[in-house]
Amino acid sequence: MNAHSIPVLAIDSLRVEYPLANGSVFTAVENASLVIRPGEIHALVGESGAGKTTIGNTVMGLLEKPGRIAAGTIQIDGKRFDAAKGSAAGIVLGRDVGAIFQDPMTSLNPLFTIEDQLMEAMRFHLKLDKAAARSRALELLESVGIPEPRRRLKAYPHQLSGGQRQRVVIAAALSCNPKLVVADEPTTALDVSVQSQILKLLRDLADSRGIGILLVTHNMGVVAQIADRVTIMHRGKVVETGTTQEVLRHPKAPYARALIGAVPRVDRRLDRFPVLGDEGKGRAEEARAELREKAERSEDVADEAPILSVENLCVDYTTSGWLPGSAGHRFRAVDGVSFSVRSGEVFGLVGESGCGKTTIANVVSGLVRPTAGRVLYRGRSIAGEGATHRIGPLRQAIQMIFQDPYSSLNSRMRIGSILSEPILFYRLADSRAEAESDVARLIEAVGLEADAAQRFPHAFSGGQRQRLSIARALGARPKLIVCDEPTSSLDVSVQAQILNLLKDLRDATGLTLLLISHDLAVVRQMCDRVAVMRQGQIVEQADSETLFDKPQHPYTQELLSLVPTLDRIRGETQAA
Amino acid sequence: MFKVLLSRLGQAALVMLVVSAVSFVMFRYVGDPVATMSRENASVEEKAELRRSLGLDQPLAVQYGRFLTRTLSGDLGISYRNQRPVTALIAERLPATLELVIVATILSLALGIPLGVLCALKPDGIAARLVQAVSLVGISTPTFVTGIVLILVFAVSLGWLPSFGRGQVVDLGWWSTGFLTVSGLKSLILPGITLALYQLTLIMRLVRAEMIDVLSSDYIRFAKARGLPTRYIHFRLALRNALMPVITVTGLQIGSLIAFAIVTETVFQWPGMGLLFIQAVSFVDIPVMAAYLLFVGLLFVLINTVVDILYAVVDPRLRARSA
């Protein structure tokens, strides 16, 4: 690209502040500078709270009150941004600056058709009449690669898949020929295969239309795949900036090195995830040892048989039909799946959304009834054929950790009550006092301070909440924990800590884990054996090393090739 | 959709059967109509004769069977007090109540929605705070107090508006309306406001809460990011999403307004269903009470079904789900 052309975005020593209620000021962004030229993709990377989204919002004029630009300048296409008005003269949001948001499921209004939502911006900004706007909407849908665009125009958002919706969002962002697009985590909510298509689309748009893209993301793999330049932020400050190749290959700042190190690798297995500064471990280890001791007193004899076996499991979801008596639509979510989990191992189930992996987790934990087949725990049927009603004690042995640590803890209960619930329910403590000391031990075992019991969930960060979810699962003294995407809503460094914690707990208490994830890198780092699922069936099942090094099934190979990794950096592939 | 509708109708029939059983039991066990109707010093023979002429000497099952057949053929019996068919009484009173309810509903929607939007858009403005405070008073003051205060101010002190009755009505065959005369319209104002007040505050608060919710949603942020005009975002996009639950609540409220406008009608001596019911209660006029019960049950079942259908019309997601 022409280095002398006017940059589409030039931010110079920007400071964004939020005045707080007590009179002090929280600085969300400090002294940030970056330049984006036409056709360039500039990635803004950092963990939650780093200030990257604040920069994106400020550029879009969407900075939430009472936030304000305290210092520095922003120029969009050479035009100076007015801090007081929150916009630049001659720059119209939506016309010159397009936006792509994270979650395509929620960024489209459910009550309006795709056509309505694409046309409105064009009608306001470009003053097109209805017919012209409609024909342009059709062109846009074609250009973002939506099949049958004419039909899709009349569709409502819920009739499209996540990937298609994100394409519609991109089409809306492009509708008025913007010079700059701010994409805030555009692929975080999508499957790897869809992600790779959307990333390709963004790259093409930058190359063919000369649009400058500010890509806000936490995913280093995405950065490596499409960004030209990278800026890494930490707590509101820019810690490193440069070309993608420089920054990812030779990070200089310690934080940048740590962040890049914490990214789970899909290409080789490490013993532990490198984390930024290890937490006080001594007490946690003691607590875990005590947990183990307690668990062993109630231990039944571990035998050689698999702890969990799933045999020919089928699950159908049915919807009612149009006419009374008509069978309705039947959807087979899980289709003849068999696998077994050995005692003490970590078994991974991988696949894209809709492949049935979560349904299996729900069957194993008793939340969904199978249509056919059965699930055995230590040789006794707990779901499906031959399952008895008296499976309470078996339930205790299988606990679950959910994906979203924000909604899986009851916000009206203190941590102490949340954690003591399973202990009291299964009568694992003789007295309330004993239950309380158990709770304290659990909290320490997951690396938090025991006084956490007095507080409510909102006092904790996402990572801490997930630790508490783990503590709650451990409270029932399970033999098997089903982890459904335990880290997919967490930052990389927090993810690394949680995964390390799960590994440590496994080593310390001899737990068995059934790990469900869409993230191949996480699965490789965690699991001993892996099953790859697609459309309700297992396509390949093997030791994790074998599976990742020599994938047999074409689908596994395809999935692996689509994962954005740090090994394929854009500058380098182009040079090669 | 069709299947959903059919199952709704099935449920409706079941509900109505239960309601009819309850209203029949009322016939049988609440008070003794013979005692109320006959002279104070009536002889035993006279009473037995009355009992026979009312059909109260038959076995229970026979009475219930007769009751059902009669009800289904539209005969709800004869009022003990007025000695006139209950159907005719209700048909006579229904227009008064319906007109009052229509006025109250329009009033509460026309004021409640804009005020709710105002409170959501400018939550810290003086107007919003004032509206919020007044609405709290509105929601916590009993209807009879509001009614009496309104009468005191506008009818007694100022003398602007009539304090009771429907004023002059125009007969349109089976419907008598107060909409066509000045005195009829004037008479509607005070009871209309009284009846609307509670519903108004309810709708206002609901719209406010929903609107605040919707305004913080991703799709509204995305609309802002596309640079759409603020008014367009607020009134064309967000309001439509915010009005979804208002449909349900308005539907249910219309039902309870018709059924329980009793207090307002009593305060204003409004010749509607409520007043009919109150009089029926004080005279143990069981056929009227039973018919009223049936009528209210039918009303709620109908309104709920309409609301369900309306919901599917407004929200495309529901259309798909039931298809």
Q: What is the pLDDT along chain A (576 residues), one digit of tens a residue?
A: 445 578 888 988 889 888 877 778 888 888 888 999 999 999 998 887 788 888 888 888 888 777 888 888 888 888 887 766 767 777 777 788 888 887 777 888 888 888 889 888 888 888 888 898 999 999 888 888 888 888 888 888 888 877 888 889 988 888 888 889 999 888 877 778 888 888 988 898 899 888 999 999 888 888 888 999 999 998 888 999 999 888 888 888 888 888 888 887 777 777 777 665 544 556 777 777 777 776 665 555 455 678 899 999 998 877 654 444 555 567 788 889 999 999 889 999 998 877 888 889 988 888 888 888 989 888 888 888 777 665 667 778 889 998 888 888 888 889 999 999 888 888 888 888 888 888 998 898 888 888 888 888 888 888 888 889 999 998 888 889 999 888 877 777 788 888 888 888 888 888 899 999 888 888 888 899 999 998 889 999 999 889 888 899 999 998 888 887 777 777 665 443
For residue A337, the model assigns a pLDDT of: 92
Cβ-nearest to B219 among A60, A95, A108? A108
Q: What does residue A31 show for φ and ψ, rounded to 5 degrees?
A: 50, 50
Other CB atoms within a 10 A radius of the CB of residue A417 amount to 14
Q: Residues A542, A544, A549, A555: is their CA dihedral positive or negative?
A: positive
Q: What does residue A37 show for φ and ψ, rounded to 5 degrees?
A: -95, 165
* HEC string for B25-70: HHHHHCCCHHHHHCCCCCCHHHHHHHHHHCCCCCCHHHHHHHHHHH
| Residues with Cβ within 8 Å of residue A19, at least 6 apart in sequence | A25, A26, A66, A68
How many CB pairs lie under 8 A apart between chains A and B? 89
CATH 1.10.530.10 assigned to domain A39-58+95-262? The reply is no
Q: Is A306 helix (H, G, I), strand (E, B) or coil?
A: coil
Give CA–CA dist A495/A262, Å, rounded.
8
Give the residue among B238, B235, B242 at the shortest CA–CA distance from B219: B238
Q: Which of B121, B122, B218, B226 is most worth mutating to test chain A (most A CB atoms within 10 A of its CB)?
A: B226
Cβ atoms of B89 and B97 closer than 8 Å? no
Q: Which residues of B touch A62 (CB under 8 A)?
A: 221, 224-225
For residue A41, the model assigns a pLDDT of: 93
Q: Does B222 touch chain A (CB under 8 A)?
A: yes
For residue B28, the model assigns a pLDDT of: 67
Delineate the domains of chain B, giving CATH numbers in brackets. Answer: 89-282 (1.10.3720.10)
| CB contact (8 A) between residue B227 and residue A322 | no
Q: Which of A60, A92, A100, A120 is most worth mutating to test chain B (most B CB atoms within 10 A of its CB)?
A: A120
What are the distances in angstroms from CA A374 to CA A197, A365, B148? 38, 13, 70
Q: Which residues of B touch A121 (CB under 8 A)?
A: 226-228
| CB contact (8 A) between residue A62 and residue B225 | yes
Cβ-nearest to B240 among A101, A111, A169? A111
Q: Which residues of A touch B241 (CB under 8 A)?
A: 109-111
Q: Is A400 helix (H, G, I), strand (E, B) or coil?
A: strand
Question: Searching chain B, which residue's CA lies closest to the CA of residue A56?
Answer: B225
| Residues 153-192, chain A, touching B (beta carbon < 8 A) | 156, 158-159, 169, 172-173, 175, 182
Q: Does B231 touch chain A (CB under 8 A)?
A: no
Distance from CA of A2 to the nearest CA of B (A): 28
The complex's ipTM works out to: 0.70
Q: Does B314 touch chain A (CB under 8 A)?
A: yes
Give CA–CA dist B198/B184, Å, rounded.
23
For residue A573, the model assigns a pLDDT of: 52
Cβ atoms of A80 and A91 closer than 8 Å? no
Would the CATH topology of A39-58+95-262 be identical to that of A297-321+331-571?
yes
| Model pLDDT for residues B23-44, shown as the tens digit of each residue | 887 766 766 667 766 677 778 8
| Residues with Cβ within 8 Å of residue A350, at least 6 apart in sequence | A357, A517, A518, A520, A523, A530, A531, A532, A533, A559
Give CA–CA dist B188/B176, Å, rounded.
14
For residue B229, the model assigns a pLDDT of: 86
Question: Searching chain A, which residue's CA lies closest to the CA of residue B321?
Answer: A319
Cβ-nearest to B218 among A95, A103, A320? A103
**Res B55 pLDDT > 80:** no
- For chain A, the structural domain boundaries read 39-58+95-262, 297-321+331-571
Q: Which residues of B touch A124 (CB under 8 A)?
A: 227-229, 232
| Model pLDDT for residues B101-150, shown as the tens digit of each residue | 888 999 989 998 999 888 888 878 888 888 888 888 877 888 788 888 88
Q: Does A137 touch chain B (CB under 8 A)?
A: no
A572-576, B61-65, B98-102, B168-172: range with lowest mean pLDDT: A572-576
Question: Alpha-carbon Rg of chain B, whole angstroms?
Answer: 24
Distance from CA of A102 to the nearest CA of B (A): 9
Residue recorded with tokens 């107007």: B127
| CB contact (8 A) between residue A324 and residue B232 | no
Greatest CA span in chain B, whole angstroms?
A: 87
Q: Which of B121, B219, B234 is most worth mutating to test chain A (most A CB atoms within 10 A of its CB)?
A: B219
Q: Does A107 touch chain B (CB under 8 A)?
A: yes
Q: Does A24 touch chain B (CB under 8 A)?
A: no
| CB contact (8 A) between residue A93 and residue B225 | yes
Give CA–CA dist A52/A500, Å, rounded.
27
How far does Cα B19 stand from its chain's mean position?
Answer: 18
| Residues with Cβ within 8 Å of residue B45, at least 6 apart in sequence | none
The residue count for chain B:
323
Which homologous superfamily is A297-321+331-571 in?
A: P-loop containing nucleotide triphosphate hydrolases (3.40.50.300)
Q: Does B218 touch chain A (CB under 8 A)?
A: yes
